[in-house]
Amino acid sequence: MAKCDVCGNEYDKAFEVTGPRGSGTFDSFECAIHKLAPRCAHCGCMVIGHGIEANGTFYCCANCAREVGEKGARDRVA
């Protein structure tokens, strides 16, 4: 059994995630998100959805990006 890098749970269905923000072994998506999700540079919340990236900085939404001066930031619209 593998051990979760976040909570330490030993679990027979643990999985590994490898990505640009790091890698690890996890027993749940919740633990993977806790370790690997970027945080909004303005409000600090975890960016779990698409979010927005401006000049290499992650934000949870266009509003947060605009709050710090990213003038062209906008959420995706249909």
Per-residue pLDDT tens over the stretch 6-37: 999 999 999 999 998 899 999 999 999 999 99
pLDDT tens track for 40-67: 999 999 999 889 999 899 999 999 999 9
What is the pLDDT confidence band of residue 78, given thresholds at 50, 70 and 90? low
Q: What is the pLDDT of residue 64?
A: 95
- pTM for this predicted structure: 0.78
Q: What is the pLDDT of residue 67?
A: 94
How many helices (DSSP H) and strands (DSSP E) are in the chain? Answer: 2, 6
